[in-house]
Structures are given as C-alpha cells and as structure tokens.
Structure 1
Amino acid sequence: MTPEQNDLLCRVEGAAPMGQLMRQHWMPACMIEEVAEPDGTPLKVRLLGEDMVVFRDTNGRVGALDEFCPHRRASLSFGRNEECGLRCLYHGWKFDVDGNAVDMSSEPVDAKLRSTMKTKAYPVREAGGFIWVWMGDPGNVAEFDPPNWAAAPDDKISIVKMHGACNWAQVLEGSIDSAHSSSLHSSNMPAALDVAGSTATDTAWLRPSADKAPRIEVEKTPFGFRYVAIRKPIVDADKQDYVRMTLFVAPFTVHIPSNDRYHLSQMLVPIDDVNTMFYWIAWHPTKGIGQDEWRRFCGAEVGKDVEPVTFRKVRNAENNYLQDRDAMKQGDFTGIYGIPTQDMAMWESMGAIADRSEDRLGSSDKAIFTFRTQMYRAAQAVQQGEAAIGTVEPRVPHGKLMSFEGMVPKGDDWRNLNVSDEELRIRANQAARKGRTVEAAESVA
C-alpha cells in the first residue's frame, strides 16, 4: 500500500472517509458497568476523534452529550449529575439526556436563550453489556442491529477492555490473523493429544493441532468476510482437518473461534487516528465464564493490570510490557503475561500507524489482504457518496452470525458451516441472478 492508501484505510478523524463510514454504524461508547449508577460519575469518552460525556440520570436513562458545555466550552465531565440532568460547574448550565438546557442559572429567568439552548446529544442504545451511540446523520438514524452476544443473559457476558496505543486497523488485523496464535500465543494455546477441539482450562486453551502453518481460505460476504485456518490435527490427519473459522463484520467487529465453554468476539474501536479501545467478549447462552475469571485469565483486571477509567495497561511499551526473559528460558514463549498484552506488544511495536508499504505478505496473510482491499475500497465508496459497507441490502442480521471451530471430514465444504438461513437465501438469489445474466449474455451472442 502507498502512504496515501494507508491513510485512507487508517485515519478516522474529522472528514476522513473511514470515519464517515463508521458513522453509518452504531458505535460502542463504553461498557454498561461504567455508567451503571443513576446520578453517578459522568464518563469521558472519545470516539473517532470526537469527545463526549456519557452519564445515567436519576431515572436511569443514559445520555451521551458533547463533552464541552456550549456556553464557554468547559468540560461537562466534571459536572454534577443530579435531578435528571448534568450541570456544568462553571456557570451552572444544566442539560438532560436529550441535550435540552433545563436550567441556566447564570441567565435571567426571562432570557430567550433559555428556551432555545441545546447541546449535541447522541442517540443511545443499551445492549449486550455496552452503551452504543449513533454518531452519524441525526436525521437518518439507522435501526440498531444488536450483536450476536446480546442474545445471551447479562450474567453470561464477560468483557475485557484495554487501551491500545496505535491505530485501529493494525489491531483489527491481529484479530483476523489466525496464523499468529500458533506462535505468539503458543504457551496459552498448546497442542494436546486428548482434546477434539479448543478446550478451556483455568490457564490455557488446549488445541488438537500442532500445525503452525495453516492453510487460509476466504469468502467475502455482505457483512465483510469469513475465513478459515485449516490445520492438520494430531489425530487422524488423513481423515479430517482441524478448522477454525473467523468472521469479520465490518467495520470493527470480529467473531473468533469458540472453545468448549464460551464464544468469543472482539470489537476494535477507533478512539482517534492513533488510539484504539480493545474489547474482548466471552459469552454463552448457558455456560460461559465469569467476569472476574475472564479478566484474570486475560491479564486485564481493573486496578491491577489496567488502570480504572482509562483502561491503560500497567504492562506497556515504556516498561517493555514487563517481559520476563527468565520465564522465556524456562519455556514461556513470549515472557509477557496475558494474551491481549502479548498482542498489544506486537501491534504497538509497529508504530502509531503501521507503514504497510514495507510489509512482505505471505500465504498465511490472505485474510489480512482481503481486509485491506475490502475496507480501502469501502472507504473509497463512501468518499464518492455511496453507502457504507454492511448497511445496504442484502443484509444479514448481526445476531445470526457465528464463528466455527472443530474437526471437519476431509473434502467437506467449510463454507456451509454455521451459515444462517438468511445467508443461504442470499446465496441462492445471487446464484439465480448470475444464471439469468449468463443466460441473457448467451442469448445476445
């Protein structure tokens, strides 16, 4: 990629086409737990280079407002959250969750300004453990399409949150890179003879394959693409393949292969051009893993591994991610604790925005190549006034999308694994249209 192409793929602030693309999708602003308390502390949030403040009012309604008071631009994050509104400390102007000024104590009671004053308020939804905001055209708010984990009970959804000091695209490329897990995470995902699929213990995910060079195959879809990493299993390699399917749901969601206890999804959300919020969701309708256990497993406990409020890492570039070289000599592959921090060390080492013109891609990078070309072209389309990827028909409801992990008999088509009825209908319609096009062309000939 040229530097100009790389910028189009990566940059999200202001009028950047990729940022405008993302504004046609609902964005996760924060976890519900961060603003769970009515009249609690307002939360500063930055998305796509925009600053907002999220709060829950006295009646339990959630608001997301422009962080800066429209009066003199003081931050509302310091404000008093009370009596169904957020009051700026500077002059006492108070706004409700819809952005209406409900009190302006520094202005005369008959001032016309009182009846017309509003501040920017973002439409809000709550689902799946997250507060979602609409940052696009306020006159054309898209229907909210909840993610697949939102169907699980609240107590079966566990979330890791961690700040990444680099651009969103290189974080997302890590999430769709199945090959790296066999090396970078090999101490956390070791091969084992006595398992038939990914098997979760308290400290690791056991795998039925020691193959570090998977065969990658990709299928583009209306929502983005799905791809598989096909590995030789330890047992019966002549009869079956070990298949791990990952789904990229544009523009920032990835469903990675499950294990025997819980499903796994990630959201790689741009804070701005050079910062990303990493969310890792473990969930299941009936089984799952507890919130505390999940964060402990990932090395992402709040107050221990990540800072409260900011979710910045205790193990970071400044302290070399507390890499333990003695542990490496004793068999730990990276010497870095926690799967997310191992990833962060790699992503952040590329720089704030990776220079993709220097990459030398291999056969294991097919999903990376697909992501770059697909999203680059999607940003170009938005730049030319077209709708964003994933927002036009045919659409597949996000709640229907699932990854796959397991043994598959040799010769079986992986494209039929975990495919929803909606996608099957789309495929049939596309095949029919293609047939009609071929028939018409032959008639003309």
Structure 2
Amino acid sequence: MTPEQNDLLCRVEGDAPMGKLMRQHWLPACMSEEVAEPDSPPRRVRLLGENMVVFRDSEGRVGVLDELCPHRRASLVFGRNEECGLRCLYHGWKFDVNGKVLDMSSEPEDSHMRGKVNARAYPVVEEAGFIWVWMGDPDNVGEFNAPNWSSASEGNISIMKIHGACNWAQILEGAIDSSHSSSLHSSNMPTAEDVSGSTATETAWLRPSADKSPRIEVEKTSFGFRYAAIRKPIKDADKQDYVRTTLFIAPFTAVIPSNDQYHLSQLLIPIDDENTYFYWIAWSEDPEKGIGQDAWRKFCGAEVGKDVEPVTYKKVRNYDNNYLQDREAMKDGDFTGIYGIPCQDMAMWESMGKIADRSEDNLGTSDKAIFTFRTQMYRAAQSVQKGGAAIGAGSDALPQSKLISFQGMVPKGEDWKQYNISDEERALREAKAHSKAKREPAE
C-alpha cells in the first residue's frame, strides 16, 4: 500500500472517509458499568477524534453530550451529576440527557437565551453491556443492529477493555489473523492430544493441533467476510481437518473461534487516528457455561486497578517498560514472557508504530484475511468518499445476533462454509448463487 492508500484505510478524524463510514454505524461509547449507577461520575469518551461526556441521570437514563459546555466551552466531565441533569461547574448551566438546558444560573430569568441554547446530544442505545452512540446524520439515524452477544443468557456477558496506543486497523488485522495464535499465543493455546476442539481451562485453551501453518480460505460476504484457518489435527489427519473460522463484521467487529465454554467477540474502536479501545467479550447462551467477569479479566491480564488504570484503561504493561517481559520465564518455557493474550498482542501491534507503514510489508499465503481486509475496507472508504453507503449498513446489514464463528473437526471433502451459518445468510448466499447462474450462459 502507498502512504496515501494507507491513510485512507487508517485515518478516521475530521472528514476522513473511513470516519464517515464508521459514522453510519452505532459505536460503543463505553461499557455500561462505567456509568453504572444513577448520578455516578460522568465519563469522558473520545471517538473518531471527538470528545463527549457520558452520564446516567437520577432516573437511570443515559445521555451522551458534546464534552464542552455550549456557554463558554468548559468541560462537562467535571460537572455535577444530580437531580436529573449534568451541571457545568463554571457558571452552573445544567443539561438533561437530551441536551436541553434545564437551568442557566448565570442568566436572568427573562434572558432571551433560555430555550434557544442546547448542548449537542447524541442518540443513545444501551444494550448488551454497552452504551452505544450514533455519531452520524442526526436526521437519518440508522437502525440499531444488536451484536451477537446480545443473545447470551442473563448475566453471562464478560467484557475486558484495554487501551491500544496505535491505529485501529493494525489492531483489527491482528484480531482476524488466525495464524499468529500458533506462535505468539502458543503458551496460552497449547497442543493437547486428548481434546477434539478448543477446550478452556482456568489458564489456557487447549487445541487438538500442532500445525503452525494453516491453510487460509476466505469467503466475502455482505457484512465483511468469513475465513477459515484449516489445520492438520493430531489425530486422524487423513480423515479430517481442524477448522477455525473467523468473521469480520465491518467496520470494527471480529468474531473469533469459540472454545467449549464460551464464544468470543471483539470490538476495535477508533479513539482517534493513533489510539484504539480494544474490547473482548466472552459470552454464552448456555447458563451452565461461560466465564465470570473477574475470571475473564484475570485470564486476559486486564484487571482494572491492577493491569489497567481505572477510567483510562491504559496498560500497566506497556511499550515503555517492554510489557514487563520476563526473560527468565521464557527460558523456563513461556514463549513470550508477557502475561495475558491482549498484552502479547499489544506488544506486536504497538511496536509497528502509531500507524503501521504497510508499504514495507511482505504478505504471505497465511495473510489472505489481512489482504482481504485491506482491499475490502480501502474500497469501502473510496465508496463513501464518492457518496456511497457504508459497508455493512442499511440494506447490506444482516442480523449480527445470528452471526457466529466455528471451530471443530470437519471431515475431509466437506465444505467448511456450511458450518454455523444463519438462515438469513444462507438465503442471501443461495440468492447470489442463483443470480450468478442466471447470468452465466449454459454449456
């Protein structure tokens, strides 16, 4: 990729086409737990280079406003959250969750400004553990497409959040790169002979394959793409393949292969051009399975107050301290010496620089999904630049709650594309095949 192509893929601030594309989707502003209680402290949120404030009022309603007070542009993050409104400390102006001014303490009762000035408020949806915000056209708010973990049983959604000090695209490329897990995460995902698929313990996900060079096959879809990493299993390699499928749901969601206890979804949300929030959700529809919030964050090395800072979610293990890499542990068999899958990934992603220089890459056969992501999203940004609709939005959207990955043994000769496909996607696939057959001349 040229530097110009790389910028089109990566940059999201201001009038950047990729930012415009993302504004045609609902974005997670923060986790619900960050504003869990009525009248709890407001939170600063930065998305696509814009600063906002999120708060929950006395009646439990959530509001997302422009961070700066419309009076004199002081930050509302420091405001008093009380009596169904957020009050600016500077002059006492108070706003409800819709941005309406409830009080102008510094103005006389007959001021002409009353009823005319409001704070900018964003449309909000609270769903599946997140506060979602619409940053696009306020007169054309898109329909909210609930994520796949919204189908989890009650209380069976565990979310890890961590700050990434680099561009969103290189983090997303890491999320959809199956081949790296056999090396970078080999201590967390070790080979085991007595399992038939990914099997979760308290400290690891066991795998039935030692194959570090999977065969990659990609299928493009209306929402992005699905791909399979096909590995040689330890047992009956002449009769079956070990297949792990990953979904890229444009523009910022990855659904990675599950294990026997929970499904795994990721959100890679641009804070601005050079920073990203990485959310990793472990969830299950089976109330007898899953993993608790505390256990999930401990497994990931992302416990708030221990591994990541409160409020900012910046990492204790970071680039400046070499992610506290333990070379003695490496001598004893730990592959990376870095604790937790997310920090192992962050060490790789952040070491590429704030925005990776893709012109220096040398992609191989294991990088088919990376190549597909780059070309698909580059073209999608070009389309938006020319006034087109965003990929995965509007008529192209499929119910995300039905989209799921797959991992397991597949008999040789069988098509992996038939596994864990929703009825909606199957119907769309069949319609496309029928349309293609009609266009092609008969032999």
Q: Normalized against structure 2, the TM-score is what?
A: 0.98
Q: What is residue 373 of structure 1 aligned with on the other side?
A: 375
Q: What is residue 96 of structure 1 aligned with on the other side?
A: 96
Corresponding position: 1:26 with 2:29:
no
Q: CA deviation at 1:272?
A: 0.2
Partner deviation per Cα, 1:6-65 (whole Å, 9 max, x = no partner):
000000000000000000000000000000110010000000000000000001000000
Q: Distance in 2 between matches of 1:393 and 1:33?
A: 32
Q: What is residue 360 of structure 2 aligned with on the other side?
A: 358
Q: Which moved more, 1:152-161 or 1:168-177?
A: 152-161
Q: Distance in 1 between matches of 2:396 and 2:250?
A: 14
Q: CA deviation at 1:301?
A: 0.3
Q: What is residue 107 of structure 1 aligned with on the other side?
A: 107
Q: What is residue 296 of structure 1 aligned with on the other side?
A: 298
Q: Which moved more, 1:139-148 or 1:430-439?
A: 430-439
Q: What is residue 201 of structure 2 aligned with on the other side?
A: 201
Partner deviation per Cα, 1:92-129 (whole Å, 9 max, x = no partner):
00010001011000011011211111111010001110
Q: CA deviation at 1:213?
A: 0.2
Matches within 5 A, 1:39-188: 39-188=39-188
3-state secondary structure, aligned to 1:372? helix
Partner deviation per Cα, 1:56-83 (whole Å, 9 max, x = no partner):
0001000000000011110000000011
Matches within 5 A, 1:329-408: 329-408=331-410
Q: Distance in 2 between matches of 1:217 and 1:58?
A: 52
3-state secondary structure, aligned to 2:150? helix
CA contact (8 A) 2:70 2:119 kept: yes
Q: Distance in 2 between matches of 1:426 and 1:326?
A: 53
Q: CA deviation at 1:307?
A: 0.3
For 2:231, give the aligned amino acid: R
CA contact (8 A) 1:145 1:398 kept: yes
Q: Distance in 2 between matches of 1:367 and 1:101?
A: 49
CA contact (8 A) 2:184 2:335 kept: yes
Q: What is residue 253 of structure 1 aligned with on the other side?
A: 253
Q: CA deviation at 1:435?
A: 2.5
For 2:389, give the aligned amino acid: A
Q: CA deviation at 1:390?
A: 0.6
Alignment identity in percent? 75
Q: Distance in 1 between matches of 2:196 and 2:420?
A: 18
CA contact (8 A) 1:267 1:278 kept: yes
For 1:242, give the aligned amino acid: Y
For 1:316, give the aligned amino acid: N
Q: Distance in 1 between matches of 2:125 and 2:89?
A: 27
Q: What is residue 38 of structure 1 aligned with on the other side?
A: 38
Q: Distance in 2 between matches of 1:400 and 1:355?
A: 36
Q: CA deviation at 1:285?
A: 1.3
Q: CA deviation at 1:186?
A: 0.3
Q: Which moved more, 1:427-436 or 1:284-293?
A: 427-436
3-state secondary structure, aligned to 2:219? strand
Q: CA deviation at 1:154?
A: 4.1
Unaligned stretches of 5+ residues in structure 2 = none
Q: Distance in 1 between matches of 2:396 and 2:434?
A: 14
Q: Count the aligned residue pairs.
A: 441
CA contact (8 A) 1:394 1:426 kept: no
For 1:206, give the aligned amino acid: L
Partner deviation per Cα, 1:352-399 (whole Å, 9 max, x = no partner):
000000000000000000000000000000000000001143431111
3-state secondary structure, aligned to 1:333? coil
For 1:333, give the aligned amino acid: F
CA contact (8 A) 1:47 1:270 kept: yes
Partner deviation per Cα, 1:259-318 (whole Å, 9 max, x = no partner):
000000000000000000000000001211000000000000000000000000000011
Q: What is residue 262 of structure 2 aligned with on the other side?
A: 262
CA contact (8 A) 2:65 2:121 kept: yes
Equivalent residue in structure 1 for 2:425, among 412, 423, 426: 423
Q: CA deviation at 1:148?
A: 0.7
Q: Distance in 1 between matches of 2:82 and 2:345?
A: 41
Matches within 5 A, 1:207-226: 207-226=207-226
Q: Distance in 2 between matches of 1:91 and 1:159?
A: 38
Corresponding position: 1:15 with 2:47:
no
For 1:292, give the aligned amino acid: D
| RMSD, aligned α-carbons | 1.0
Q: Distance in 2 between matches of 1:333 and 1:431?
A: 45
CA contact (8 A) 1:95 1:101 kept: yes
Partner deviation per Cα, 1:173-222 (whole Å, 9 max, x = no partner):
00000000000000000000000000000100000000000000000000
Q: Distance in 2 between matches of 1:316 and 1:295?
A: 17
Matches within 5 A, 1:226-245: 226-245=226-245
Q: CA deviation at 1:438?
A: 2.6
For 1:59, give the aligned amino acid: E
3-state secondary structure, aligned to 1:361? coil
Q: Normalized against structure 1, the TM-score is what?
A: 0.98
For 2:30, give the aligned amino acid: C
For 2:15, give the aligned amino acid: A
Unaligned stretches of 5+ residues in structure 1 = none
Q: What is residue 437 of structure 2 aligned with on the other side?
A: 435
Q: Which runs of 4+ in 1 moved over 3 A?
A: none
For 1:243, give the aligned amino acid: V
CA contact (8 A) 1:164 1:344 kept: yes
Q: Distance in 2 between matches of 1:320 and 1:39?
A: 39
Q: CA deviation at 1:436?
A: 2.6
